[in-house]
Structure 1
Amino acid sequence: MTSLISPREAPGARPPGVFTERWRAAVLPLLAGIACLACELRVHNETASESDSSSEATSAGDGAPEVCLRYVACLKEVDAAAGAEAEATHGAEGSCWSGNEEEAADCLALCDAQLRNYAAAFPDLTACEDEGIVSDVEFEIGQAVFDPVDPFLPPVYAKLEAGGTLPVVRGGQGLLMLAFSLRGKNFVITEDPNDWDNPKMPHVDMWVDIEGHNVGFGGHFARLNNYSVGFYPIGDGMGTLEHMYIAIIVPDAIADPQTLTNKPGLVHIELSTFGEPASIQELEFVVAPEIQEY
């Protein structure tokens, strides 16, 4: 089954669990009906990214970031009274920027989400365009590569190239999934990547489409909303952070998973990090010709 909530409608959403590979062998039968799970996070994080500065990072006293100025300008065009209220809170001299960094980050997140919503609702309104929002956050989409011989070995990261193949993986208990990984830099992370209630925890909104198999909510193969992802530094000297992995479970409505093989797909991921506008990536891929057993 897939999530039945549209993006940004579930701000308190949390992933169902974090497991080591050996634990997963025992508990996966209990999770077969869950749309996705986060696993194999290797919890040896640091307090923040090795390179967490950003042109949009917001803290008390820094003033309004561009995304909020654009949100206020957009809202004034749509509803003058609401725009005036937003000016007092999210505008250049707004109350959002006189508190602490958590409050400022919450304000920025609202500006970012609302500007994108208004941009979609009013595509012909120039004041509501959401293109060109500046952020230093970088991330790329990868895949978790499993050892087909030893299922207890942790997966390793591989970048997913545009048009590259991504296998459907079948675990020891029969669970079928697509295993997406993330790497990035220039954003704040939490000391404990399992601290789901920490306001600095990164999260994603994402959807996956596979040709002829978009049976879920909103016409997608699968969809996740406000899904927390714990990153850890890989120690490459470049500040690279990694999340291994987001498991997208094949929906129950897919009666024959073999029909997924060789089909083109598209993954869309919006990565939201503390004090930053969302960073967005889309990538086309092809489902591998064989289901991988591990």
Structure 2
Amino acid sequence: MFLRNLITTSTEDYSEQINRLKNEIENADAIVIGAGAGMSTSAGFTYDGERFEKHFADFRQKYGITDMYSGGFYPYNSLEEYWAWWSRHIYVNRYDIAAGKPYTDLLKIVNDTDYFVLTTNVDHQFQLAGFEKKRLFYTQGDYGLWQCSKACHDKTYDNEETVRQMVSEQKNLKIPSELIPKCPICGAPMTMNLRCDNSFVQDEGWYAAASRYEDFIRRHKRLHILFLELGVGANTPVIIKYPFWNMTTANPKAVYACVNAGEAYVPKEIRDRSICINGDIGQILEKI
């Protein structure tokens, strides 16, 4: 219904849009934050360029890998190599890292409001910044969790201790064979708890978070609710973007806001109740 009627322009200038967004944040009955990869990119947590070279130059030299995203899909010859990559990837993006400023700024902005966060990010940044865990729904997994590669049971496992050991003991881009994680139920190799195929495990915590999110939406569906979308691209629009559009359409009191560098657009059907800001998320949050 929406895709043929998208608009990217506004009759308001940049400052007016920011003021409108600030006013909505202050006056909304509730705020639903939908955060995508652009949020972490704004925080400086890029997957290529200088940051990639700093941590993965040896992988680039041996395998020709040019960014962290593609490195996760490289066909390594052994599990020792696979986990050398992934342990370092997890460590750099999950454990050896502080909360990015856009995340801490966002918390200051919404901390005194009734909010909930829906995110496709898997880097734990919201919890590092201090957001309440009960107000978070990580739909696509978490770098800090492993699961059975065969998904033989619906449970995930914390990986921090083993990841740190893998990083400290890897040599020649391999980890010791005895550190390869195995499923405690079927013995198959473990894998990342990241949604990339039908084997993704939705554990008890995932369903609990989904239930809290659904309850939040149900309790506020007729109120003045702000759907605040931050850095959501076109890779998985069915998780955040399309539902936000639909819920804004269904609720005449709702307002939709999109903040994204280069990808801020809105359907014409909800133009009058939308705020589109094309710019860096971190800079905009600072202004608010």
Q: Which bin holds the TM-score, normalised by the shorter protein?
A: under 0.3
Question: Scaled by the length of structure 1, what TM-score is found?
Answer: 0.23
The structure carrying a bigger strand percent of its residues is 1
The structure carrying a bigger helix percent of its residues is 2
